[in-house]
Structure 1
């Protein structure tokens, strides 16, 4: 137990100020002397033992009636470990522009508002902690913790399974654990927002799997510069949040992983840069099975790695010219609408020249063949009342599928495509019929055939005779009544009969396929 006589001058000032919650400021006012990075050189006049702070927070100097006790300290060099593991802390703690010799341990602690701003901290362990208020680390530099049973990877800021009733403020902070985890906050429960803006930098993986973020995650302009050993810059697997904001120059040098994440409002990457892992072996954005209301993927430049949206569901997708890399995983991706910027406004990507070709090319970026992306796109066009565009998409699906078939099936596919457009262009059959009818009428009109039976049958009509050859069902009486002694015209007649059967079969097959699929 500390006695007052054992305290140094700055410690006594802190001790006396605590009951009234007054701030003790040990800064000199000279910028060169107050640089926190040089705090290790500060002398005894600015040095406070961490044990004194622990003693005060745990009730060593009782509050006075009519005052709210609190510990407020600025510009101090803190020696020893600030060890509050498992403690029940009933007072708020404000530390500003302080230099910590050792880490802060809040493992399993229950505290009030905790503010450590503009400081240099060699690691903060707050696994399973409960903060009744705000956890504020703005402008602080937090470096890697030493290895422990709870921190074997190498973590700078540990908030796994912690609960914060207010906000978690990391604006302007630098969290550094190269090759490890800059932030480990799996299972974090936030009642307020989590902000990482104003120049936030992370060296190492930022992990928030299973986090509950009803107040949202705001990383506008943040830079995740050094991914973890898995190549992941940010992991939000199965996280739940209202808003995820990665806009305004957000940079991720590694995978942004949102597997199974649920976003009730907006997910935005407007103006972001998704570089992906340096070795190019991982995706830039991995969001399979994600659910979100509105997704904005108007990036500053195309992602360097794959974008994986397999099984994701979004109400509205907003994309642009830099949204998609060379490879996009879209199998199972479901969306209610697709929007683009036109004349400064966000509008449905419909009716634009080349729109269908652009969207089909987007789907073709997926490796292999899958029918679902085509069917999803066609469904969107139908709901918007663009049935012709929907048919173009489904025709593109058949042409893509044809590449995966055996040679014989590919030949039949080409025939269906040329004759009726797989049933999505039935008017092609009319074009073929008109062309063949004109050919036969002109050819057979050059000379008269011989009757099968003299004096019987209707007079020869080149047009009717040609139609009788092309129509395989029924008969008009011309084909059975006349024949050609000339071999060339007889072979033309045989060819028209064959074309008639092929054309009829293609029409039936194409229309049947369309009716069955749609």
Structure 2
């Protein structure tokens, strides 16, 4: 138990100020060692033992009547281990521009608002903490870390299964982990949101898997970097948030993983840079099964790695010329509308002359053949009233599928494509029929055939005879009434019959495929 006589001068000042919630400022304007970023010790005249802070927060010095006790300290060096694990803390804690010799342990504590602002701390362990207020770590530098009781990895900031009724503010903070995890906050509930803006920097993975962020995650302009050559910069698997803001210069050197993440409003990467893992082994964005209302993917630069949107669902997709890398996984990706970012604003990406070709090229960036991306794109064109564009997309789908077929299937596919455009261009059959009719009429008109039964039937008519050859169903009475002694013309007649069957079969097959929407 601490006695007042054992306290140093700065500790007594803090002890006396606590019951009234007065601010104790040990900073000296003239001294250069107040700059936490540059390091340096404060000396005994500005050192406060962690045990004194713990004792005060455990009500060692009762509050004065009519006052609210609060620990407010600035410019101090905190010696020893600030261990408040499991504590029931009824007072707010405000530490600013302080230097911690050892890490801070708040695991399982129940407390009011906590602020460690502009300070240097060798790691904060706050797993399972309950904060009735906010957690403020603005402008602080968290590094080295200590082993967490929940995992073996070294973490600079642990908020595993923490519950904060207000916001978690990490604006301007720099968090560095010697291992892999700079922030480990799986299961975090931050009702007021998580703010990582205004110069926020991490060296190590930020893990927010399963986090619940009703107030959103705000990383505008943040820089996330993996210290190793591979891996994930940000993991938000199965998280639930109102909004995710990765805009205005957000940079991720490593994968941004949003697998199964649910966003009730908007997800934006406007002006962001997704560099992916430095070794190139991994996607820049992995958003499998992600759900969002508005997905703004108008990046500042083309991602270095792949973009994986398999199974994702969004109502509105915004993209630009920098959005899509060489590999884009789109199987199962569902969207209600696409808006292109162009000069002068954004508009529905339909109606342009190159719209279909551009979107088909986008789909072809996906490895292998998958019919769903084509069906989804065609459905969007139909809803927008562009049925012709929808048919062009479905034709492109069949041409892509043809590449996966065995040789016989590819030959038949080419035939369907040339004759009727897989049923999506039935007018091609009319052109072929017109050309063959013209060829047959001119060829047969220059010679005289022999009658099968002389003196019977109608006279020879080249046009009707040609049509009788080309139309396999029914008969016009000319094909069976005449034959050729000229082998070339007889061969042409047989060829016309074969073309007629091919055209008829192709039309039937193409129309059937369209009706079945295969």
| TM-score category (smaller protein) | over 0.9
C-alpha distance after superposition, 1:366-391 (max 9, x if no partner) = 11111111111111111111111111
SS of alignment partner, residue 259 of structure 1: coil
C-alpha distance after superposition, 1:240-291 (max 9, x if no partner) = 0000000101011000000000000000011111111111111110010111
In structure 2, the residue matched to 1:455 is: 455
C-alpha distance after superposition, 1:99-123 (max 9, x if no partner) = 0000110010011110111100000
SS of alignment partner, residue 41 of structure 1: coil
Kept in 2, the 8 Å contact 1:153–1:180? The answer is yes
CA distance in 1, matches of 2:370, 2:231: 28
CA distance in 2, matches of 1:394, 1:61: 77
In structure 1, the residue matched to 2:432 is: 432
Using the TM superposition, give the Cα deviation of residue 148 of structure 1 relative to its aligned residue in structure 2, in angstroms. 4.3
Using the TM superposition, give the Cα deviation of residue 220 of structure 1 relative to its aligned residue in structure 2, in angstroms. 0.4
SS of alignment partner, residue 460 of structure 1: coil
Note closer, same or farther for the CA distance 1:358–1:296 as it changes in structure 2 (3 Å cut): same
In structure 2, the residue matched to 1:280 is: 280
SS of alignment partner, residue 33 of structure 1: helix
Kept in 2, the 8 Å contact 1:40–1:77? The answer is no
CA distance in 1, matches of 2:382, 2:179: 49
Q: Which is further off, 255-264 or 473-482?
A: 473-482
Alignment of 1:351-500 (within 5 A): 351-500=351-500
Kept in 1, the 8 Å contact 2:166–2:190? The answer is yes
C-alpha distance after superposition, 1:50-77 (max 9, x if no partner) = 1101100110110011111100001000
Kept in 2, the 8 Å contact 1:205–1:228? The answer is no
Is it true that 1:171 corresponds to 2:171 in the alignment?
A: yes
Q: Which is further off, 482-491 or 29-38?
A: 29-38
Using the TM superposition, give the Cα deviation of residue 34 of structure 1 relative to its aligned residue in structure 2, in angstroms. 1.5
CA distance in 2, matches of 1:186, 1:322: 32
Kept in 2, the 8 Å contact 1:86–1:109? The answer is yes
Runs of 5+ consecutive residues of structure 2 not aligned to the other structure:
none
In structure 2, the residue matched to 1:4 is: 4
In structure 1, the residue matched to 2:55 is: 55
Note closer, same or farther for the CA distance 1:411–1:277 as it changes in structure 2 (3 Å cut): same
Note closer, same or farther for the CA distance 1:22–1:39 as it changes in structure 2 (3 Å cut): farther
In structure 1, the residue matched to 2:344 is: 344
Runs of 5+ consecutive residues of structure 1 not aligned to the other structure:
none
Question: Normalised by the size of structure 2, how large is the TM-score?
Answer: 0.98
Note closer, same or farther for the CA distance 1:247–1:376 as it changes in structure 2 (3 Å cut): same
CA distance in 2, matches of 1:17, 1:39: 27
Alignment of 1:325-344 (within 5 A): 325-344=325-344
- RMSD across aligned positions (CA): 1.2
In structure 1, the residue matched to 2:314 is: 314
Alignment of 1:223-238 (within 5 A): 223-226=223-226, 231-238=231-238
Note closer, same or farther for the CA distance 1:234–1:227 as it changes in structure 2 (3 Å cut): farther
Kept in 1, the 8 Å contact 2:155–2:179? The answer is no
CA distance in 1, matches of 2:417, 2:76: 79
Using the TM superposition, give the Cα deviation of residue 144 of structure 1 relative to its aligned residue in structure 2, in angstroms. 2.3
SS of alignment partner, residue 113 of structure 2: strand
In structure 1, the residue matched to 2:162 is: 162
Kept in 1, the 8 Å contact 2:289–2:310? The answer is yes
Using the TM superposition, give the Cα deviation of residue 352 of structure 1 relative to its aligned residue in structure 2, in angstroms. 1.0
In structure 1, the residue matched to 2:45 is: 45
Using the TM superposition, give the Cα deviation of residue 341 of structure 1 relative to its aligned residue in structure 2, in angstroms. 2.1
Alignment of 1:69-218 (within 5 A): 69-218=69-218
C-alpha distance after superposition, 1:183-220 (max 9, x if no partner) = 00000011101110001000000000000001000000
Kept in 1, the 8 Å contact 2:356–2:389? The answer is yes
CA distance in 2, matches of 1:227, 1:210: 24
Q: Which is further off, 280-289 or 453-462?
A: 453-462
Using the TM superposition, give the Cα deviation of residue 146 of structure 1 relative to its aligned residue in structure 2, in angstroms. 2.2
Kept in 1, the 8 Å contact 2:187–2:210? The answer is yes
C-alpha distance after superposition, 1:439-489 (max 9, x if no partner) = 111111112212222211111111111101100111111111111111111
CA distance in 2, matches of 1:441, 1:102: 98
In structure 2, the residue matched to 1:265 is: 265
CA distance in 2, matches of 1:387, 1:314: 22
SS of alignment partner, residue 112 of structure 2: strand
CA distance in 1, matches of 2:247, 2:312: 21
Kept in 1, the 8 Å contact 2:308–2:330? The answer is yes
CA distance in 2, matches of 1:223, 1:242: 22
Note closer, same or farther for the CA distance 1:200–1:31 as it changes in structure 2 (3 Å cut): farther
SS of alignment partner, residue 133 of structure 1: coil
CA distance in 2, matches of 1:27, 1:471: 99
Q: Which is further off, 340-349 or 44-53?
A: 340-349
Using the TM superposition, give the Cα deviation of residue 227 of structure 1 relative to its aligned residue in structure 2, in angstroms. 5.3
Using the TM superposition, give the Cα deviation of residue 294 of structure 1 relative to its aligned residue in structure 2, in angstroms. 0.6
SS of alignment partner, residue 209 of structure 1: coil
Question: Normalised by the size of structure 1, how large is the TM-score?
Answer: 0.98
Note closer, same or farther for the CA distance 1:48–1:340 as it changes in structure 2 (3 Å cut): same
Kept in 2, the 8 Å contact 1:225–1:253? The answer is yes
SS of alignment partner, residue 73 of structure 1: strand
